[in-house]
A and B are shown apart, each in its own frame.
Chain A
Amino acid sequence: MIAALTTPYVAWWALVPLITFAVAGFLLLTVASLVRRLPAVLAPAWTAVAGLGVLLYLVPMWSRVGRDGADSFLAGTVGVDRSSIFVTGILAVAVIAAALISRDYLPREDLPGVELYVLLLMSAAGGVVMASANDLIVLFLGLEILSIAVYVLAALHLRRIESQEAALKYFLLGAFSSAFLLYGIALVYGATGSTNMVRISAFLAQNVLVDDAMLLAGLGLLLVGLGFKVAVVPFHAWTPDVYQGAPTPVVAWMAAGVKAAGFAALMRVFVLTLGTYVSDWRPAFQVIAAATVLAGAVVAVVQTDVKRMLAYSSIVHAGFILVGLQAATDRGNSSVLAYLAVYAFLTVGSFAVVTVVSGTGDASHGLDAYRGMGRRHPALAGVFTVLLLGQAGIPFTGGFVVKLGVLAAAVDGGAYWLAGVAMLAAAVAAFVYLRLLVAMYLEEVPSGTETSGAVPLGALVVAVASAVIVLVVGLVPGPLLDLARDAVPVLVAG
């Protein structure tokens, strides 16, 4: 008789967000298969409620982790700490926002209704896995769950050839970069004898490798794979094309959710697991961060398509987050988390506005569509103004507070030149946002543009709520900064 398997300890309470997203997705798919004609409002409402439920559940979870400390389970492959709760919260917000924006987007584009929401929930589940992975393999699993759903999401606009193109490009390059990531994991495993982050970091802390070539090569490959997901130079090239082509609500999710999960993974892998090798990877991070902020800002200047413009601006933001991440200190980590939170609001709000302006066919993304918007849609233009000023990092917006945070973290670590470069890039990038503002307020409505009708409710709610939050964070940043400070990522052995 063979001894029965002892199942590992599972902290079910910590899996609730993951299970909620996954089960909500499956249920939605089941219902959609059974019922021919679903009420149009059901799927978005369902998705938003799932997101909201997760968000609410995170509150007791946060205090429980604060009381009992971080936990690790499933044989030490999954860990839950406050940073993973924080990132899960960002993901939930992004899910809610994307669902609300999609509510009016899909009927307008005459697209079938349910797949987007199902895939969104799946993708979010993958993101949660990434944010709480304690094992490189689990991290990879989460990344693939997240990514594959997003590849399909990018292709969802059936009648836009750009959408198909974007999905194919994203898929090919994503698969390419996944290979790098997997090879990196293999090399790290070869060097340390484990894929478990806790064990890797313990191994590296106790042993000095005589030959660390394999480990360091693995480190480089991990950086390639994760750098692709968060879109930093030189792994960023897909971003503008994909952002331009993919349906706008999906772009909102990609920019806010995928990036948050990707940076959470970068933080777990590099800062926590490979922290002992910080002197080796920090210079690489610094160069990449500098190249990212500069390239993103400079190329953004010449864009004429607003979605591409925002894509490059998201690249600049990624560079800024990297500026905070390379510090590899608690201060750096909390600045990264705060940045991710504010950036999520900035970006979902901005893309909500873009969704509205793009008009039927998701095609009007030129500056022309924004000219004279201050007169045609004063409310929407005002909200967009706040969001753009936030992206530019103007004082009294959340964008300023978090930019200051990452710069302070960098300067704290002695990376003066990097902070200088980042400030320079911020100055260049400000020009991009300014151009949009000028188009909205100071330029004539081009003749022949029909005045678009009422602003759809879902997008309006997202845009207004984001703008308000960005302003509130700018005025009273204390609570957010405190949350981010408390959300220290830790690795706990299972």
Chain B
Amino acid sequence: MVDLIWLVPALPLGGFIVLIFCGRRIGEPFAGWLATGVMAGSFIATVAVFLDMAGRSAHDRRAVVTLFEWIPAGDLSVDVGFLVDPLSLTMCLFITGVGALIHLYSVGYMHGDAGFPRFFAYLNLFTFAMLMLVLGDNLLLTFLGWEGVGACSYMLISFWFTEPANATAGKKAFVTNRIGDWGFMVAMFATFFTFGSLNYVDVLDASEAGTVAQTTATLIAVMLLVGAVGKSAQFPLYLWLPDAMAGPTPVSALIHAATMVTSGVYLLTRVNPVIADAAGWVPDLIAWLGVGTALFAATIAMAQTDIKKVLAYSTISQLGYMFLAVGSGAYVAAVFHMVTHAFFKALLFLGSGSVIHGMDGDQDMRHYGGLRRFMPVTAGTFVVGWLAIAGVPPFSGFWSKDEILAFAWNKSPALWFVGLLTAVLTAFYMTRLMAMTFSGESRYADERPGEEDGGAAALRADHTPHESPRTMTAPLVVLAGLAMVAGFVQLPFSSSTKWLEHWLEPSLYSNEVHLGIGGGTQFLLAAIAVVGGVVGIGVAVAVYVKARVDRGLFEQAIFADAWRIDRSVARFMGGPGRQGFDATNRFDERVVDGAVFGVADVVRRLAGLGRLFHSGMVRTYASGIGVGAVALITWFLVRSTL
């Protein structure tokens, strides 16, 4: 059955090829059904392989399926092959599973869009690239998938390219990711010249055997971390993810919540022996980076008004948890949270998509309110996602977050405390989102500030929000079910209930840290986390449902402003006096554009200098040759025995 693994990426690739060439002829809705069908087929193939693997003993649960030799020449030999092991299979399971659901959802969501077949072609291509990323048996194939998902995400973010803002957001994502890609490339070269191979099996086994110098392992680990930080939107390369919300919502759910952004975590988990060989500060760095990002993003999420922005910052925050887990040596917990997060965050994103669909494209939560009456299924499933992410037992998020926090405590109580604080904030902002969207009075027909007369409001009053079609609600229901029960694959009660840990064992060598705390402490920590979550929910209810506390207390401008990094940067870079911009705009213009287009700007300015040289005058060119000749001769004469 393991040999069937090639089917898993081949099916989406086939779907892509068919759709890109005859997509327009197939048309709506069959193009969507075709894409969904191949995803379902891919999922079935994954399950078949999984069942085969699950039946094997631990040391047997790793297979390399080589398709063909790719680069055979010299000492660099790279094959196109798949590494089938518990880690990659776990990834594949939720990529194809959640992917299929999101494809199904998109059939309804993208209804009537001019680019319907193109959208599904890209989605299929993305899934193919993502599967290559996790299945590739060497760093080069992973890198190929890495670049592929980046390119697809770029195309999908700017899918509605007619709006310049969307195209800009796509570019932003692309440029930021190049920094991460650079890290990956350097790591790849360092790996090749250290191990003489790019195959995971060789590299990891050699690394596990302890044949690598600590400095080299540190370099590789840090460079891979740079790559992972870029792809998984951690501080300071998180800037692109909030902007990436410009894409269609299913894209946000698939790429920016469930799959692509977790590939950084996957990569770090995959190379766990290298991290184990690296200097001790590397895991510390990963853990603090993760927990810092988690807290940072959570505070920003508290004050956003765009529903997708809240979820975007929430995703950054949850990814921070996964980095915390990796840094704490809790690889199982990282994968565990990755899986549960894929379920509940995809659910939340799709739910928000359903809301936006029902509100005719409006994403501002201040215009929502009381939507549970209009869209009961969406509201009901959203509640499940909310409870899961807020860490309320027995929903899945509780179990995975609890496990990460336990390991964080094990590493350092300070890490645990910051993680806990983040959990409280998470419960708070998600409750805020729920309250503003689904409860209270309907506000869709209210007059809004800035509108001259009641005409626009009256027009809206005719458009009551509506529940989404069944193709959209069905995936919500399935995902809600999964978000409810996914936690049961890894229950912390005894060794026999830690099913995921046993399953993943062969992929993690023995680098999983042993939890050095007793059951009592663990229970106490979990209890504190639950209380924290309940406090967060309670406060949010008091503020947003009962309106007993002024919401301005929490929606600090500094949060809405994403910590005014812009201002500090502006003060640092350009001095005072440049602060008279609108708060949100400032963030966008100064920090995001500044950081991303700063790079582009430097390039552009350099190019301008370079262009001066290209005046079109032959004499300028000749003088260039002359100056070059003089420089060369000077060099050679300096080298000579004069």
Contacts and interface: CB of A to CB of B under 8 A. Distances in A.
Task: Assess A/B contact in the complex (Cβ within 8 A).
Answer: yes
A299 B611 contact: yes
Nearest to B629: A224
Given A404-B71, A427-B178, A240 B603 contact: no
Interface in B599-619: 600, 603-604, 606-608, 610-611, 613-614, 616, 618
Contacts of B631: 234
A235 B618 contact: no
Nearest to B626: A176
A408 interface: yes
Given A301-B607, A442-B161, A216 B614 contact: no
A222 to B, nearest CB: 10
Interface in B153-197: 155, 158, 161-162, 167, 174-175, 178, 181-182, 185-186, 189, 193
Contacts of B161: 442-443
B580 interface: no
A65 interface: no
A482 interface: yes
A361 interface: no
Interface stretch (A17-25, A117-125, A343-351, A393-401): A393-401
Nearest to B162: A444
Nearest to A374: B118
Contacts of A168: 618
B519 interface: no
B625 A234 contact: yes
A169 B73 contact: no
Contacts of B603: 298, 301, 428
Interface residues of B, number: 56
Interface stretch (A143-151, A194-202, A416-424): A416-424
Chain A CB count within 10 A is highest, among B73, B186, B606, B620, for: B73
B72 interface: yes
Nearest to B141: A395
Nearest to B606: A298
Interface in A202-225: 209-213, 215-217, 219-221, 223-224
A434 B636 contact: no
B250 to A, nearest CB: 19
A442 B155 contact: yes
A228 B625 contact: yes
A237 B636 contact: no
A298 B610 contact: yes
A481 interface: yes
Question: Chain A contact residues: over half helix, strand or loop, or mixed?
Answer: helix
Contacts of B640: 211-213, 215-217
Given A284-B636, A427-B182, A212 B611 contact: no
A214 to B, nearest CB: 8
A475 B70 contact: yes
B624 A237 contact: yes
B607 A234 contact: no
B181 A427 contact: yes
A442 B167 contact: yes
Question: Chain B contact residues: over half helix, strand or loop, or mixed?
Answer: helix
A407 interface: yes
B621 interface: yes
A481 B625 contact: no
A301 B611 CA distance: 11
Given A220-B632, A395-B144, A475-B70, A238 B608 contact: no
A339 to B, nearest CB: 13
Given A234-B625, A241-B616, A481-B71, A302 B642 contact: no
Contacts of A420: 186
B45 to A, nearest CB: 22
Nearest to B179: A427
Contacts of A210: 641
B237 to A, nearest CB: 15
Contacts of A173: 618, 621-622, 625
Contacts of B604: 301-302
Contacts of A427: 178, 181-182
Nearest to B185: A423
A481 B621 contact: no
Nearest to A291: B628
B627 interface: yes
Given A212-B640, A299-B614, A423-B182, A221 B629 contact: yes
B186 A478 contact: no
Interface in B289-340: none
Contacts of B186: 420, 423
Given A213-B642, A442-B167, A331 B625 contact: no
Contacts of A430: 178
A446 B167 CA distance: 17
Contacts of A281: 636
Contact of B73 (A220, A299, A441, A482): A482
B143 A395 contact: yes
Contact of A299 (B610, B618, B624): B610
Contact of A404 (B68, B76, B193, B606): B76
Interface residues of A, number: 69
B493 interface: no
B632 A284 contact: yes
B639 interface: yes
A305 B635 CA distance: 36
B28 interface: no
B140 A172 contact: no
Given A213-B641, A396-B144, A428-B603, A478 B182 contact: no
Contacts of A377: none
Contact of B621 (A238, A284, A300, A395): A238
A105 interface: no
Given A213-B637, A216-B640, A394-B147, A237 B174 contact: no
A283 interface: yes
B614 A237 contact: yes
Contacts of A83: none
A110 interface: no
B625 A395 contact: no
B74 interface: yes
Contacts of B611: 299, 302
A411 interface: yes
Contacts of B622: 172-173, 176
Given A298-B603, A428-B603, A237 B621 contact: yes
B49 to A, nearest CB: 24
B458 interface: no
Interface in B528-552: none
Given A220-B629, A427-B181, A475-B70, A419 B624 contact: no
A436 to B, nearest CB: 14
A458 interface: no
Contacts of B4: none
23 contacts: A168-B618, A176-B625, A210-B641, A215-B640, A216-B640, A220-B629, A220-B632, A221-B629, A224-B629, A228-B625, A237-B620, A281-B636, A283-B635, A284-B632, A284-B635, A298-B607, A301-B604, A395-B143, A427-B178, A442-B167, A477-B71, A477-B73, A481-B73
Interface of B: 68-74, 76, 140, 143-144, 147, 155, 158, 161-162, 167, 174-175, 178, 181-182, 185-186, 189, 193, 600, 603-604, 606-608, 610-611, 613-614, 616, 618, 620-622, 624-625, 627-629, 631-633, 635-637, 639-642
Q: Which 4 A-B pairs have the closest CB atoms?
A: A481-B73, A234-B628, A216-B636, A237-B621
Interface of A: 168-169, 172-173, 176-177, 180, 209-213, 215-217, 219-221, 223-224, 227-228, 233-235, 237-238, 240-241, 280-281, 283-284, 295, 298-302, 331, 394-396, 401, 404, 407-408, 411, 419-420, 423-424, 427-428, 430-431, 434, 438, 441-444, 475-478, 481-482, 485
Given A420-B186, A476-B68, 18 more contacts: A172-B618, A173-B625, A216-B636, A217-B633, A220-B632, A221-B633, A224-B625, A280-B636, A301-B604, A395-B143, A427-B182, A428-B603, A442-B158, A443-B161, A477-B70, A477-B72, A481-B74, A485-B74
